[in-house]
Amino acid sequence: MMKSDSGQPAGVQSESSKSALSPLPPVVPKTAENAIVEYTKPATLLGDDEDLEVKLRGIIENVPVSVSNTSGSSAGSGSGDFHQYRQMRRKEQDRLSRMEADYQKRKEMV
């Protein structure tokens, strides 16, 4: 059986080492009185159109615009650039057609 430096079996602490450990701080129950941030109910819902406009404005202002697959000015067009261009063009056309279909569906509902 292995013994520690104090002569106790391994894993057993003496009374002096137990008292050297500081106790954990008391746990305070979380209530409204001691909360860091109080919960507030959301404001009354706006109309659907106004709500969508607010969301869209927030997205446009907060989401950064990233441009990918750009080629530098010092490099010529490689053999893969045409395929990347076609793929980006196809994705953009699909996106525009989905937007147009969504617009037509919303227009018919009104």
More confident residue, 17 or 40: 40
For 95, the domain range is 83-110
Average of per-residue pLDDT across 49-62: 83
Tell me whether residue 110 is in a domain.
yes
Query: Which stretches of the chain are DSSP H helices?
Result: 15-20, 48-62, 81-109
Sign of CA dihedral 54, 64, 78, 76: positive
Is 90 exceeded by the pLDDT of residue 97?
A: yes
| In-domain check, residue 45 | no
Within-domain flag for 99: yes
pLDDT in the model for residue 32: 61
More confident residue, 51 or 10: 51
Residue 105 in any domain: the answer is yes
pLDDT at res. 9: 59
Q: What is the average per-residue pLDDT within 83-101? A: 91
**Is 97 inside a domain boundary?**
yes
Of 94, 86, 55, 56, give the one whose Cα is nearest residue 69.
86
In a domain, 92, yes or no: yes
Percentage of the chain modeled with pLDDT above 90: 18
pLDDT band at 92 (very low <50, low <70, confident <90, very high): very high
Say whether pLDDT at 13 is over 90.
no
